């Protein structure tokens, strides 16, 4: 019997630096209500969905930086999101900047959570592949300082049995790395949720065309789905945000690798699809039957080192 869950990608238009959390949550609540009207049971929001994409600015004052971080989840402003989703019986994925105090030390992560139909946090992920740089780089038209503001995630790529499926998460740059998908694939993932903030132009290559960047955005997700027999809901924060253009192109991808729904604006927009979680089983038991076909004895170099070895 089919295991269908109606999933929605809640693409968000730009969030200005001056916009309050309460204003952003209001927009998200409107998206949740529209998703409910369209029959969705699970809604995916973008990476760092509660604020502007602050790593585009170099900041030395950590009080200024920390204003972009959530001290608790849910907190005073986000509680309304949890309450609305629970009242509607909808689960959701949310990306945000996380403060964690552990043994008297403050840690900062680029984080996502899955919240189940009852409003409980069913899973947490902390971004592993942090792109960009640590210090100010004057040759860039805008900065990308994720390596300055976040620690590398310390939770690996967990999957969670919740809401009737095996659910996984990643964040933005993670989608470009096949290792992200394969680790979750090895855990039987059936649906990967991911949010992103991707500039429409390459800050280091003025000649890279926008359509090529969009192709990279899509083929990485499509390949990840096909090669691991999983669904994905991949959701942008899009549009002209504080002087920087972010690409849209949010998609829902089937385990075949096909795009089954795609956003066509750079604004708050919903995409919805009835995803049969059993659909990935065919790939998983045939061409990508890992137990039958993988050859881990020759993959050692992938985990032994990060950089490539130049041939002699």
In the complex, the residues that contact ligand CDT under the rule CB under 6 A are: 47, 131-132, 144, 172-173, 176, 196-198
Strands (E) in 91-171, as ranges, are 91-102, 105-115, 121-126, 159-162, 165-171
Of 196 and 231, nearer to ligand CDT (C-beta) is: 196
Q: Out of 170, 172, 225, 244, which one is annotated catalytic? A: 172
- Residue 132 beta carbon to ligand CDT: minimum distance, rounded to whole angstroms: 4
Minimum distance from CB of 47 to ligand CDT (Å)? 6
Active site residue 258: no
CA angle 152, 172, 157 (to 5 degrees): 55
Q: How far apart are CA 52 and CA 35, in angstroms?
A: 23
DSSP labels, 193-235: EEEE--BSSBTTBTTS-HHHHHHHHHHHHHHHHHHHT-EEEEE
Of 41, 70, 127, 244, catalytic? 127
Q: Is the CB of 112 or the CB of 173 nearer to ligand CDT?
A: 173
Instruction: For ligand CDT, give the closer residue by CB, 54 or 92.
Output: 54
Cα 75 to chain centroid, rounded? 21
**Least separation in angstroms between CB 218 and ligand CDT:** 12
User: Does the annotation mark 172 as catalytic?
Assistant: yes
* Cross-strand bridge partners of residue 42: 7, 91
C-beta of residue 54 within 8 angstroms of C-beta of residue 70: no
- 126 DSSP β-pair partners: 111
Minimum CB separation of residue 149 from ligand CDT in Å reads: 12
Query: For ligand CDT, which is the closer residue by CB, 95 or 165?
Result: 95
Are 247 and 259 contacting, i.e. CB atoms less than 8 angstroms apart? no
Closest CB to ligand CDT among 21 and 144? 144
User: Please, are residues 167 and 114 in contact by the beta-carbon 8 Å criterion?
Assistant: yes
Number of Cβ within a 10 Å radius of residue 80? 16
* Choice among 47, 190, 269, 279 that is catalytic: 47
Distance CA 51, CA 184 (A): 28
47 flagged as catalytic: yes
A 10 A CB-CB count for 20 gives: 11
- Lookup: tokens for 193: 């949720």
At its nearest, how many Å lie between ligand CDT and the CB of residue 180?
12
Sheet of 121-126, strands arranged across: 121-126, 105-115, 91-102, 42-44, 4-11, 269-276
Which residue lies nearer to ligand CDT by CB, 81 or 171? 171
Q: How far is the CB of 49 from ligand CDT (least distance, A)?
A: 12
**Annotated active-site positions, please?**
47, 127, 172
């Amino acid at each position: 019997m089919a295991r269908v869950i109606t999933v929605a990608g809640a693409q968000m238009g730009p969030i200005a630096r001056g916009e309050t959390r309460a204003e952003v949550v209001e927009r998200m609540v409107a998206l949740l209500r529209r998703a409910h009207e369209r029959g969705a049971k699970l809604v995916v929001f973008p990476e760092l969905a509660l604020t502007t994409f602050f790593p585009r600015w170099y900041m030395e004052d950590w009080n200024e930086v920390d204003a972009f971080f959530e001290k608790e989840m849910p907190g005073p402003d986000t509680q309304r999101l949890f309450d609305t989703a629970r009242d509607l019986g909808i689960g959701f994925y949310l990306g945000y900047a996380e403060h964690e105090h552990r043994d008297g030390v403050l840690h900062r992560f680029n984080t996502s959570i899955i919240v189940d139909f009852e409003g409980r946090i069913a899973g947490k992920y902390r971004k592993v592949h942090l792109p960009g740089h640590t210090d100010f780089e004057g040759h860039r038209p805008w900065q990308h300082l994720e390596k300055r503001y976040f620690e590398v995630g310390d939770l690996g790529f967990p999957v969670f049995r919740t809401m009737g499926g095996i659910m996984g998460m990643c964040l933005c740059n993670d989608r470009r790395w096949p290792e992200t998908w394969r680790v979750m694939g090895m855990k039987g993932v059936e649906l990967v949720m991911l949010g992103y903030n991707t500039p429409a132009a390459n800050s280091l290559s003025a000649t890279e065309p926008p359509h090529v960047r969009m192709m990279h955005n899509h083929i990485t997700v499509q390949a990840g789905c096909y090669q691991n027999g999983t669904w994905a809901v991949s959701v942008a924060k899009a549009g002209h945000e504080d002087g920087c253009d972010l690409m849209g192109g949010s998609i829902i991808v089937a385990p075949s690798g096909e795009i089954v729904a795609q956003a066509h604006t750079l604004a708050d927009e919903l995409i919805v699809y009835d995803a049969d979680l059993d659909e990935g089983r065919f790939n998983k038991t045939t061409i990508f039957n890992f137990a039958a076909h993988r050859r881990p004895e020759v993959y050692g170099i992938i985990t032994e080192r990060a950089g490539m070895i130049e041939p002699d």
